[in-house]
Amino acid sequence: MTSTQVSRILFEEKRAVGVEVIDKKGNKSDIRCEKEVILCAGAFQSPQILMLSGIGTEKELAKFGINTIIDLPGVGKNLVDHVWSGVSAWTRTPTNNNTLKPWNQITELTRYLLFKKGPLGNSPLTANAFLSSEDGMNRPDIQFHLAPSGIKDDYSTDIYDLKTYPWRSGLGILVIVIRPESRGFVGLKSANPLDAPLIQPNLLSNKKDLEVLKKGMLKAKKVLESKTFNGHLDGGISFPQQFDDASLEQHIKKSLETLYHPVGTCKMGVDAMAVVDPSLMVKGIEGLRVADASVMPTIISGNTNAACIMIGEKAADMILNQKLSVRP
């Protein structure tokens, strides 16, 4: 059902029996299920829907007049995401920036439509590497993305707005912390399901993440200053301009971005802060399962897409291989 928002899960005692939804006209209706409700709204809205339905910390729910079905303190906690900053340089070799010139936009669009070739057929990130921030580690803690696009050296480029990119060709290396220690949370702003949830990522709240990121930036600097790039760069590294510890920290805090891999807010486990058990069933509730990135207890060391597909397929396998009572 498109243009429809789930407002809350419906319960009979402590068993999920369906969901309440709101259509685009604001009308509410109930949808009943015969077996179970499977919540797949992601790391932000899955905990929001649980809290709106009365599953969460009793004290926090009471602030919004929501009756507690079951007190689960882990709902919305343990939010974690990959974060990154970057190193950029201008190039003699044409990159995506050159495509932004009006005539080149027409040329490259025609080239793509006719032959499916050229920069419009490429990803904005064209290469990846996994590496360790220091020697002796048993697995990587940093990921590099090579971006064939240059940005201005004054923090004025909005990477989501092509109008703010320079036409001068450049490239950058995105330095990503793939095993962050910082943890945030998702909460409620109100009891209105149409309001966005409260999202507090607490990025870099653990100082270790900042230190790992600084080490990664220095490694990216070393890559761009290698012989491989000598014939392509137009001058040295342009952004950041200084790599001493204080300047690097300031640059990171001004440019820090997430990689949009939020996980962990309905984590799976057997401890007191776990929200779902190993079969993805919400603890203390019958007929309610969560199957999305929110169930990851910790973030994986890479992109979350394939892991989310795996969670969905594993959930489907568990559902198909268990006997569920059908409601009369």
What would the 3-class secondary structure string for 113-174 be?
A: HHHCCCHHHCCCCCEEEEECCCCCCCCCCEEEEEECCCCCCCCCCCCCCHHHCCCCCEEEEE
pLDDT at 265 > cutoff 80: yes
Question: Which of 17-31, 57-71, 176-190, 309-323 shows the lowest mean pLDDT across its residues?
Answer: 309-323
Q: Looking at the DSSP assignment, which residues form a beta bridge with residue 186?
A: 199
> 5-80+262-320 belongs to which homologous superfamily?
FAD/NAD(P)-binding domain (3.50.50.60)
Q: Looking at the DSSP assignment, which residues form a beta bridge with residue 117?
A: none
- What local confidence, expressed as pLDDT, does residue 323 receive? 66
- What local confidence, expressed as pLDDT, does residue 214 receive? 97
Catalytic residue among 82, 145, 251, 261: 261
- For residues 79-83, average pLDDT: 98
Tell me if residue 45 falls in helix, strand or coil: helix
Q: What percent of the chain has pLDDT over 70?
A: 98
- For residues 3-27, average pLDDT: 95
CA distance 100 to 165: 8
- For residues 215-227, average pLDDT: 96
Q: What percent of the chain has pLDDT over 90?
A: 93
Q: What CATH fold (topology level) applies to the domain 83-183+202-258? A: Glucose Oxidase; domain 3 (3.30.560)
CA distance 190 to 292: 24
**pTM reported for the whole predicted model:** 0.91
- pLDDT-derived band at 254 (thresholds 50, 70, 90) equals very high
Instruction: Indicate the domain borders of the chain.
Output: 5-80+262-320, 83-183+202-258
- For residues 238-254, average pLDDT: 96
Angle (CA) 46 49 54, round 5°? 125
pLDDT at 284 > cutoff 80: yes
Tell me 184's DSSP state: B
- What local confidence, expressed as pLDDT, does residue 321 receive? 87
In contact, 154 and 141? CB cutoff 8 Å: no
In contact, 182 and 80? CB cutoff 8 Å: yes
- What local confidence, expressed as pLDDT, does residue 324 receive? 58
**Residue 145 designated active-site:** no
What is the residue-averaged pLDDT of the chain?
95
pLDDT digits (tens, 9 = 90+) for 309-327: 999 999 999 999 886 555 5
CA distance 166 to 151: 6
